[in-house]
């Protein structure tokens, strides 16, 4: 049995404005009707796979459960990192958690934001690597390259693999992201693969590797897992030892130092969707090299991506060549396709300016549903709020604002101080400043309401929680 470990704590800034810190690319529907995270969970499931273990951040914990439930996959565990510390601590924590449940378990570690269209072929490649992993090898998966890519790390094989058959062989070395000339030479020599960041090994093998190459990290992660606390369906790793961990990738911490490395070539289609050019390529451009998505229209354009992410925004391009244009309700990106990797510079600039769009997604996801702002003024804000069937917001009050709710779909059960009432479609209710209140959806369909806030301060952190079925603390998200 293979135990998948899905890593989904990254921020994906190179796909801004669709991917942001508050809602990164793994949860977005970039290539189909499912998110990248959901597609990854499906790909690593089946008769030979155990339920996945997920490592993520606190802000994403309920999104993880909701998206897995939507594809009818139940995780074996969801580990919550107190703060992002790169892949080495996350993978080690997963190995220690699995080792406690199933000593010597075979674990497959994969990012949750990659595209691998041929799932059966990939699962067959994993099975081809299983024997080597059970024998004590650390197996890394290398992708057959089809271009001189400078945005990936590469892997050097110990012997040529003319047909790149999925047969394990010793890995000679890791190669850092190359310049264009080096990448072209590696593409031509038949000895190099792209580093996919996917690994297969036993828990015993990985823990032993950390004991040999980074015992300090092993000690701290052991402390963080030993003192972990349950929180509803999650396991929160202890924050104090976790804060003392180095921010380091698994490649630097262990892989480049280990002697028991094996590589499994994979010649199927793969993409890490590391930028908008990769999204353009994966979407399959038409004869003129154009890709459109959503309400987008391209007129006499070439080699361009036009993507509109809201039904209320019509994106039109005329005479564009080699352009990426992404339109969101609150932000628009226009870039030369050859500079798509530099989107992170725009995010850094916006963050320095204090722009909310740098990190905050226009739709704010919560365990009970989501909301989005429709209009904002100096002393008012209008929101659309959607509450899942059977879900409830926390019992709360505000210091600085009053609220007026108008139900437009479904029925709300509303608590205001000591009074509980049902509010149906086209009815409204007023919540005075300071009143203790709660909103619930007792129905079987999503409930939608319009909220009008008025007051001197309208920030999400003006919330005092008294009861919460999701066990959140105080603050904007708890």
| DSSP track, 155-174 | EEESS--TT--S--EEEEEE
Element (H, E) at 318: strand 315-318
> CA torsion sign, 176 to 178 to 182 to 187?
positive
Name the residue with higher pLDDT: 161 or 254: 254
Alpha helices in 102-177 (DSSP H): 119-134
Report whether pLDDT(254) > 80: yes
Q: Encoding tokens for residue 70?
A: 């939507």
Burial 435-463 (b: 16+ CB within 10 A, else e): bbbbbbbebeeebbbebbbebeebeeebb
- Band of residue 189 on the pLDDT scale cut at 50, 70, 90: confident
Look at residue 170 and tell me whether its pLDDT is greater than 60: yes
pTM here? Answer: 0.88
> If you average pLDDT over residues 370-399, what whole number do you get?
94
Average pLDDT over residues 103-116: 95
| Range 100-111 average pLDDT | 95
Q: Which two tokens stand for residue 73?
A: 């996959």
- On the question of pLDDT at 9 being above 90, the answer is no
* Domains delineated in the chain: 2-266 (3.90.550.10), 276-352 (no CATH), 363-467 (2.60.120.10)
Using alpha carbons, list the distances in angstroms from residue 77 to 53, 200, 238.
5, 19, 16
Ramachandran angles phi, psi of 431, nearest 5°: -115, 110
């Amino acid at each position: 049995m293979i135990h998948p470990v899905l890593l989904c704590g990254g921020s994906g800034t190179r796909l801004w404005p669709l991917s942001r810190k508050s809602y990164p690319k793994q949860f977005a529907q970039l290539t189909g009707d499912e998110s990248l995270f959901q597609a990854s969970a499906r790909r690593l499931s089946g008769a030979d796979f155990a339920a996945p273990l997920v490592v993520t951040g606190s802000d994403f914990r309920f999104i993880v459960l909701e998206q897995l439930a939507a594809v009818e996959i139940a995780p074996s565990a969801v580990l919550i990192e107190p703060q992002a510390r790169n892949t080495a601590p996350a993978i080690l924590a997963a190995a220690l958690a699995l080792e406690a449940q199933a000593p010597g378990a075979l674990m497959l570690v994969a990012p949750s934001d990659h595209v691998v269209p041929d799932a059966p072929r990939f699962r067959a490649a994993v099975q081809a690597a299983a024997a080597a992993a059970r024998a004590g090898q650390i197996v890394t998966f290398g992708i057959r390259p089809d271009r001189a890519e400078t945005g990936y790390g590469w892997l050097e094989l110990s012997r040529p693999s003319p047909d790149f058959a999925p047969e394990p062989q010793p890995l000679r070395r890791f190669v850092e992201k190359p310049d264009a000339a080096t990448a072209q030479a590696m593409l031509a020599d038949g000895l190099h693969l792209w580093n996919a960041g996917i690994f297969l090994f036993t828990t015993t093998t990985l823990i032993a590797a950390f004991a040999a190459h980074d015992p300090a990290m092993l000690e701290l992660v052991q402390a963080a897992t030993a003192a972990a606390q349950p929180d509803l369906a999650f396991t929160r790793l202890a924050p104090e030892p976790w804060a003392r961990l180095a921010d380091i990738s698994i490649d630097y911490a262990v892989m480049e130092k280990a002697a028991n490395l094996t590589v499994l070539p994979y010649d199927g289609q793969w993409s890490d969707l590391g930028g908008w050019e990769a999204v353009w390529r994966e979407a399959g451009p038409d004869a003129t090299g154009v890709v459109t998505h959503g309400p987008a229209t391209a007129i006499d354009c070439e080699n361009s991506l036009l993507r509109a992410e809201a039904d209320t925004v019509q994106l039109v391009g005329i005479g564009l060549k080699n352009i990426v244009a992404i339109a969101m309700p609150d932000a628009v990106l226009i870039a030369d396709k050859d500079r798509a990797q530099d989107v992170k510079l725009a995010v850094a600039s916006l963050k320095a300016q204090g722009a909310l769009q740098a990190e905050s997604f226009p739709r704010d996801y919560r365990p009970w549903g989501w909301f989005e702002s429709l209009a904002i003024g100096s002393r008012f804000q209008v929101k659309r709020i959607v509450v899942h069937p059977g879900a409830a917001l926390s019992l709360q009050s505000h210091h600085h604002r009053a609220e007026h709710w108008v139900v437009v779909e479904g029925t709300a059960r509303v608590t205001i101080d000591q009074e509980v009432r049902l509010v149906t479609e086209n009815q409204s209710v007023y919540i005075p400043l300071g009143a203790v209140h709660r909103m619930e959806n007792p129905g079987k369909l999503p409930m939608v309401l319009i909220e009008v806030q008025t007051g001197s301060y309208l920030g999400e952190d003006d919330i005092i929680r008294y009861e919460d079925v999701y066990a959140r603390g105080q603050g904007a998200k708890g």
